[in-house]
Amino acid sequence: MKKYGRTFKTLTLLTCGAILIAPLGACSKDVDPDKIAKPRAATTATDSAGGILPDDDQKWLSVGHGSDDESEASQLFRYYDMGIFVGSSDILTAYYSYDDPKNYYCDWPTVGLHFPTEEEYTQAATGYSDFAKELASLNPDDLSEGQNRAIKDMCYDFLYMSEEYKYYQYVPHLNPMGGKQILYPLLTSLIQFNSKDDVMRYFVILEDYLDFFTQVFEAEKKRSEMGIGWNDECIDRIIADCEKMQEERDTNFMKTSFESRVGALRLSDQETQELIRRNQELLDTSYYPAFEMLIEKLPELKGMCNDSPYLASTADGKAYYEALFHLSAGTDMSVEECTELLQAKITEIYDRYLPIWQTKGNYFSYGDLSFDDARKWCERFTAEHFPEISANDVMIFNVPEKFSESMQPATYYSAPIDNFTKHTVWVNTGLVENPEYNMFTLISHEMYPGHLYQHQYQAENLESRYQVFATSKPYAEGWAKYAEWTMIHYAPFDQQMAENAWMASLLYSILIAARMSIGIEYEGWSYEDCEAYLGRYGQDSSVMKEYWSSLTAEQCFAVDYAFGFIFTSEIIDGAVEELDGICTKEEVMKAYLDLGCAPFPILKEDMQKFVDSKKS
């Protein structure tokens, strides 16, 4: 049987690992699927002295060392499914994609922060297109059902990613809501130091800050000159982030967090002080100057893009938007068809719940729990009602309060590909006091049975690595929103009030926002158009400014949440209704998870097969 051990061009995926960035450098490696190290679970067995037992005694993930009679098509599938994750563009990406890169590929990258070149974007566009064609050419009869479903997922993503990267000029690098100017420093400050080698790699990242953000500015300048950059308000918000990143230097989090982490290594006093000195030197010569440069240069871009971000105003912009939209919506339905579906859902919810909201008054208040209590309650409920997952390690980090306006209320970061039980959750303590952000629903969305549970369950049970570690945003957000919707019907407070409030939040924060986002970016809606649209749903002009700040600060704003929930609920609820008296809702939700990430039309088709098998 032929084994695939050829030169393989790897491309860092848009969604590879926890750190979401553009495609980074293509490289060539000799990759044989049978030589790729199996990712180790965090529950690695140890002997009585705490040492790791030999490999044969480990609990390994089933990452596909095929049998001797495995088909050539199956080998090629594994070649792409595993090989696509081999390698990383830079050290920061590697830290959030792997527990230790040596578990999955050759070595750590030597570049701290990498900015993609035009050539690399072009290579990515061509590479993904070629990958899709080769996978689509495989004979389905030579593959398992799970492999065929994973290939459909990969081909869908690769084709639209290829199209998106053809128009890389439209990809923003700074962002008023969690852009690289705030995300990269926070991620850098959270790198765990397990050895002095980690500190030295951290220094390489710091060394690259000034050069990296200089290239970022040049890219944003080109976007502004094309008329597709940020408006003045967004630029001011980005500048404000940059100011926060380098202020109060004696107590700056990049200084204090480093000293705390390096102090825990128990090095000699001399070594510790030398490392602290080197960190300060790099902060002064690279990190702070990077943000000083942005603060000085970003005002040059003001006044260039104050009109609505109408991406579809040109042929290239329309092609880029449609590719991004299909990746965000998880369906190959046209933008127009999706818009019609979205509007129908908005009308349905508004007509049904408006009389209730008018009677009950406050849309959002229905009781809550503390973070710890909500976590314990949701984790216990998930363990009782959903399939078991392995013990895990969850690191909870609080976003510094001064960055609260620039980050989401909470964020789950996917486990590294070589350690599926290691999870990271950020909690934006500055926002969670807002009554709109309910802690119970945040926990059920980000952790149990939402993102964290979904990610680990599928890592333990799915055949395809791609379906787990290149998570489709609409699939993941759809499951997490549906997890919220399910959990409030078991909430430890008034469940009817919770449903009423949750639906109000869904309508106004997600569905209506997504509809206006499409209007602005695809149909050319103005501020006044959005204001008039909001008026149809009982909202006066006083709230429009807040909407506009979000809608113009993120491409395809709320689209993944909106269509993710619409399609996920349609598929699961339809199966629950057909299997009433045959399967419980929890069994149906398990069956949905067992399918893994895929375009929603594929999931709908495969869930129908599950329904038919149970009915017969």
pLDDT tens-place string over residues 377-413: 999 999 999 999 999 999 888 777 777 666 677 788 8
The answer to whether residue 72 scores a pLDDT higher than 70 is: yes
**Which segments of 315-362 does DSSP mark as H helices, in order?**
315-329, 335-360
Residue 394 lies in a domain: no
User: What is residue 90's predicted lDDT score, i.e. its pLDDT?
Assistant: 92
Whole-number pLDDT of residue 376: 94
What is the rounded average pLDDT of the residues 224-228? 93
Do 158 and 47 fall within a single domain?
yes
3-class DSSP assignment, residue 122: helix
Provide CB contacts within 8 A for 120, sequence distance 6+: 23, 24, 25, 26
Round the average pLDDT of the chain to a whole number and report it.
Answer: 85
Q: What band does 45 get if pLDDT is binned at 50, 70 and 90? A: very low
Number of domains in the chain: 3
Evaluate whether residue 307 is within a structural domain. Answer: no
pLDDT at 537: 94
Band the pLDDT of 42: cuts 50, 70, 90: very low
Among residues 301, 336, 351, the one where a domain terminates is 301
pLDDT for 583:
95
Same domain, residue pair 539 and 481: yes
Pairing of strands 27-30, 7-10: antiparallel
Q: Are strands 422-427 and 410-413 parallel, antiparallel or unpaired?
A: antiparallel
Residue finishing a domain among 147, 170, 193:
170
Q: What CA–CA distance (Å, rounded) separates 573 from 578? A: 9
Q: Which two tokens stand for residue 364?
A: 């959002």
Cα–Cα distance, 303 to 319 (Å, whole number)? 26
Same domain, 186 and 329: no
Residue 447 and residue 481 in contact, taking contact as beta carbons nearer than 8 Å: no
Residue 130: pLDDT above 50? yes
Highest mean pLDDT among 67-71, 391-395, 408-412, 559-563: 559-563
Give a yes or no: residue 407 inside a domain.
no
DSSP conformation class of 405: G
Whether residues 568 and 463 fall in one domain: yes
What is the mean pLDDT of the segment spanning 517-543? 94
Rounded mean pLDDT, 410-418: 85
Share of the chain above pLDDT 90, in %: 63
Whether 26 has a pLDDT exceeding 70, the answer reads no
Quick one: 344 and 483 in the same domain?
Answer: yes
Q: Check whether residue 355 and residue 247 sit in a common domain.
A: no
Q: Does 126 lie in the same domain as 64?
A: yes
> Above 80 in pLDDT, residue 519?
yes
525: pLDDT strictly greater than 70: yes
Claim to verify: residue 258 and residue 278 sit in the same structural domain: yes
Q: Which residue has the higher pLDDT, 303 or 29?
A: 303
Q: For residue 210, is it within any domain?
A: yes
Identify whether residues 133 and 186 lie together within a single domain: no
The boundaries of the domain holding residue 213 are: 180-229+232-301
pLDDT at 370: 82
Domain-embedded: residue 485: yes
Q: Are residues 145 and 206 in the same domain?
A: no
Are residue 272 and residue 346 in the same domain, yes or no? no
Give the mean pLDDT of 246-271: 92
Select the more confidently predicted residue: 29 or 419: 419
Residue 185 inside a domain? The answer is yes
Lowest mean pLDDT among 153-157, 186-190, 434-438: 434-438
Per-residue pLDDT of 436-457, as tens digits, reads 567 888 899 999 999 999 999 9
Neighbour count for residue 591 (Cβ, 10 Å): 20
pLDDT confidence bin for 52, thresholds 50/70/90: very low
Residue 591 in domain: yes
Provide the pLDDT for residue 613: 96
Residue 341: inside a domain, yes or no? yes
Residues 284 and 339 in one domain: no
Cα 10 from chain centre: 20
Distance in Å from the first CA to the final CA of the chain: 39
Confidence at 47, pLDDT banded by 50, 70, 90: very low
